[in-house]
Structure 1
Amino acid sequence: MLLWLMGCGGTQAEAPEAPPRAGGDATIDDRTSRAFAQAAPNLSEEHIALHREGDAAFAAVFVPGPAPVNPGLGPAYNNASCNGCHLRNGRGMPVMGGGPTRTQLLVRVSLPDGTPEHPNGAVPVPGLGLQIQDQAVYGASPEATVTLAWEERAGAYADGTAYGLRSPRITITLPDGSSPPANMLTSLRLPPPVVGLGLLEAVDLATLRALEDPTDADGDGISGRLNTVWDVQKLALAPGRFGWKANSPNLRQQSAEAYFNDMGITNPLFPDPDGSAELPVATLDAAVFYAQSLGVPARTALGDAAVKRGEVKFKDLGCVTCHRDTLETGEHPVAELSHQRIHPYTDLLLHDMGADLADGRPDGDATGAEWRTAPLWGLGLTQTILPYSGYLHDGRARTLEEAVLWHGGEAERAREGFRQLSASDRDALVRFLQSL
């Protein structure tokens, strides 16, 4: 009975009064700095072995070829391993050029007009492609140098309490000292947390379609929709689900894109011109399974009065309209992910977040002002996993309060509601977010 009271029961036995298990049967009871790096506890012995193989693939550090182990890095790249961007599977740091952890921001680029090389709407920039690789192996040059500065602005809550916000400004310099094309579109991207991705992949497409409201037919001011992107395996358009703008249709393609764009490593989905690949298919499969099979940390402080009050405020402000607290998974090739009741706080849909957060760069069918609703599970562990990590797509928010205050567009009403709250109620809402 004690275990049930602690919320350790399975999803299928979840009673109305039982504490919600964030990842269903894939929930883990760990709130330490290793909380994002644990296998789902319901994996079979066979799948635990596969998860360990994937863990090794995710940690593997690549080197320039030819080499007997992990060759293929570069010649230009952003990082040398998956772990390099997603340290302990958490968020990245809002810096350029890295440092000891190298979990730095990436810069996506494209041109606004011309004929795309691939039918996904993004037009590559000559010499830069679709992402600036700002590191290079010995003897090669980075594609560009990127410097980052912050622009500060002041604001105040309705009760007069002052706050400060910051937004990024980047300068891009090509190797010859020149600037890139004046019409080049740019978008800073922070490495997102890896936790819970398999469960999100397992949510039925029909469930997400049912959440869409592209014309705001119900008049609530929220008009979410799925992105439409190019599936490189099916050679067809497909619904997007992963990435800050939901620009990848599945975890296999997202992983392959990361190997190719972040590390400069060709692979079965993005091969060399002659069809060969530097990354073995087995390594790609292992990395994909690792991302799919990670557990989701359980919530904490469920009995705390402030947390409970903050959850009520979160719902009253309408935040759950996009940050859906409950979804059901369907069938998935990884059986342990199937038919789970999960609490990710996302609808996986695109929403217009207003001019202040807009990057002006379309991605698939996503406009320059649209972003996919970020999952909030594990949010309270962000600074535990990697202190000084940033929030939002470009790491501009230093605190959860700042992240809320940057919301605009479809979320402007919720943002203004938060700004009008008393200090006590604001603190309670933040306490709720920290409990996730």
Structure 2
Amino acid sequence: MDRFLSLLGRRFVKRRWGAIALLSTLAGFLAALLLHSAGWAQSSPLRAGGDTTIQNRTSQAYAQPAPNLSGNWLTLHQAGDRHFEAAFVTPPAPVNGGLGPLFNNTACAGCHIKDGRGMPVPGQLLLRVSLPRDSPAAASALPVTAPVLPADAHLEASVSLGNAPPVPGIGTQIQDQAIYGRTPEARVKLRWQEQPGSYADGTPYRLRSPQFEITLPNGEPLPPHVLVSARVPSPVFGLGLLEAVSESEILARADPQDADGDGISGRPNYVWDTETQSEGLGRFGWKANNPTLLQQNAAAYINDMGITSPLFPEADGSSEVDTTTLKANTVYVQTLAVPAPTLRQDPQVLRGERLFAAANCVGCHLPTLHTQRHEIPALEHQTIHPYTDLLLHDLGEGLADHRPDFRATGNEWRTPPLWGIGLTQTVLPYAGYLHDGRARTLAEAILWHGGEAATAREAFWAMSASDRTALLRFLNSL
């Protein structure tokens, strides 16, 4: 383009073109400029979700439909929005009956506040449980309070793929609420254990980790051999874009043997796909334990609310939500817009971005991915900037839950996307970070990293106060 400008100036001065020739040349220049700008716009970090990006930094930023939705897809999104917000009630009921009998919450929106994350509080904090793979007989110590909920075939297939066995009488998630006349599976109390620390420059900080007291209906504690993992709900915007990233692009980043010697060895999780009745690449959930958003939603219905669906039906094949409802709810989370980052010209933000890259945070939080074919046209062929590789990484003992999930070990977690993370506490004040909400700030979240991320964590720990501030300002701009 500089060469074009130089050529334009030289011809204008030497040949003294007439007005018509000059206007024609300028038109060509403007066309070239627009083409250049269009290419820049498609790949610009300002367009975090490609054409699904919106300019919204309010408390409702996560809850907007993708701006490129139209026609039937927008109508389906709006129907899904209603289902996402709807609270289920005890049956029989004319509308939204079927809650429970055991559950954690009554609505999708009850956990995903304003389509964002939840908090480590009753009704939002979920406790996943299982038995050690090598001691399934240990469950004999557990009293049976309720049958494992429907989806037995899914559980059996999961265990056959190496997943940890469910706990008899509980299943794979403790449901701490029940409808009238029934008893919850357990009573859960949470306390925080704090530990002090300081940065290399002497600045103090405090980290906290959750400690649980889980009491069964008979008054006995949950046996210590049962594996427990706490989870807070994740934001649900931008998920359809992640579903549209090709398997080949995800797997191209996998490096299980750390062949390049950078200390980072991302691994894919392979899980049971109930819809296709086959093994598939996991993408969703804290350990990438669901292959599709349809299955992720159906699993949330059955595990969090006790609601059966066509994917996880009753024994006779019936279900409490039908295919239309499950599909609309899935389209809703597939087509929520991605908020654009802010302050992209701020010198401190730009310095923070360079520090983020220099610390090799981008080794896992990969800035850019690309979408391919998807049934929803609005999601196809987008360049997106989610800051994730959708792979599993060992984050060390500090964050370990010691509970395997398909091929994910007890130390491994899927890289969570960072897009929109700067709006976390705008959407939900006092919301936390990491899988169990333990980190009250982004700085605390970084300081908990270990394992493959230990070098990046140490780089942040050793930074000057001004560099730490710049890096955090960059994250908060996303």
TM range (shorter): over 0.9
- Partner residue of 2:115? 89
Q: Equivalences for 1:8-47 in 2 at 5 Å?
A: 13-14=39-40, 20-47=46-73
Partner SS for 2:398: coil
Alpha-carbon offset, residue 13 of structure 1: 3.5
Alpha-carbon offset, residue 118 of structure 1: 2.9
Match of 1:279 among 321, 326, 335: 321
AA in 2 matched with 1:261: N
Which sits farther off after the overlay, 408-417 or 64-73? 64-73
Partner SS for 2:397: coil
Q: CA RMSD in A?
A: 1.6
Alpha-carbon offset, residue 12 of structure 1: 5.8
Alpha-carbon offset, residue 16 of structure 1: 9.0
Unaligned runs of 5+ in 2: 1-34, 138-154
In structure 2, do the counterparts of structure 1 residues 61 and 17 end up closer, same or farther at CA, with 3 Å as the change threshold?
closer
Q: Do the aligned partners of 1:10 and 1:25 also contact (CA within 8 Å) in 2?
A: no
Partner SS for 1:171: strand
Match of 1:138 among 160, 177, 180: 180
Match of 2:93 among 67, 76, 79: 67
Question: Counterparts of 2:318 and 2:43 in 1: how far apart (Å)?
Answer: 55
Question: Counterparts of 2:304 and 2:381 in 1: how far apart (Å)?
Answer: 33
Q: Do the aligned partners of 2:43 and 2:383 also contact (CA within 8 Å) in 1?
A: no
Q: Do the aligned partners of 2:41 and 2:47 also contact (CA within 8 Å) in 1?
A: no
Alpha-carbon offset, residue 141 of structure 1: 1.2
**TM-superposition CA deviations, 1:185-206 (whole Å, max 9, x none):** 0000011111110000000000
AA in 2 matched with 1:179: P
- Higher helix share goes to which structure? 2
Q: Equivalences for 1:339-418 in 2 at 5 Å?
A: 339-418=381-460
Which sits farther off after the overlay, 308-317 or 226-235? 226-235
Partner SS for 2:156: coil
Q: Equivalences for 1:117-196 in 2 at 5 Å?
A: 117-120=156-159, 121-196=163-238
**TM-superposition CA deviations, 1:299-356 (whole Å, max 9, x none):** 0011111101000000000000100000011101111100000000000000000000
Partner SS for 1:402: helix
In structure 2, do the counterparts of structure 1 residues 179 and 423 end up closer, same or farther at CA, with 3 Å as the change threshold?
same
Partner SS for 2:444: helix
Question: Counterparts of 1:119 and 1:375 in 2: how far apart (Å)?
Answer: 26
- Partner residue of 2:128? 108
**TM-superposition CA deviations, 1:175-221 (whole Å, max 9, x none):** 11012233100000011111110000000000001010010000000
Q: Percentage identity across aligned positions?
A: 61
Q: TM-score, normalised by structure 1?
A: 0.94
In structure 2, do the counterparts of structure 1 residues 119 and 10 end up closer, same or farther at CA, with 3 Å as the change threshold?
farther
Question: Counterparts of 1:17 and 1:248 in 2: how far apart (Å)?
Answer: 29
Q: Do the aligned partners of 2:132 and 2:225 also contact (CA within 8 Å) in 1?
A: yes
Q: TM-score, normalised by structure 2?
A: 0.86
Q: Do the aligned partners of 1:37 and 1:88 also contact (CA within 8 Å) in 2?
A: yes
Match of 2:293 among 232, 251, 274: 251
- Partner residue of 1:295? 337
User: Greater Rg, structure 1 or structure 2?
Assistant: 2
Q: Do the aligned partners of 1:122 and 1:363 also contact (CA within 8 Å) in 2?
A: yes
- Partner residue of 2:349? 307
User: Does residue 204 of the first structure (1) align with residue 246 of the second (2)?
Assistant: yes
- Partner residue of 2:366? 324
Number of residues paired by the alignment? Answer: 422
Partner SS for 1:166: strand
In structure 2, do the counterparts of structure 1 residues 19 and 151 end up closer, same or farther at CA, with 3 Å as the change threshold?
closer
**TM-superposition CA deviations, 1:119-173 (whole Å, max 9, x none):** 3413111111000000111111111001101111111100010110000110110
Which sits farther off after the overlay, 240-249 or 63-72? 63-72
Match of 2:282 among 225, 229, 240: 240
Match of 1:49 among 75, 79, 83: 75
- Partner residue of 1:3? none
Partner SS for 1:257: helix
Q: Do the aligned partners of 1:358 and 1:369 also contact (CA within 8 Å) in 2?
A: yes
Question: Counterparts of 1:10 and 1:195 in 2: how far apart (Å)?
Answer: 29
Alpha-carbon offset, residue 19 of structure 1: 5.2
Question: Counterparts of 2:42 and 2:377 in 1: how far apart (Å)?
Answer: 25
AA in 2 matched with 1:23: G
Question: Counterparts of 1:424 and 1:16 in 2: how far apart (Å)?
Answer: 32
Question: Counterparts of 1:232 and 1:138 in 2: how far apart (Å)?
Answer: 32
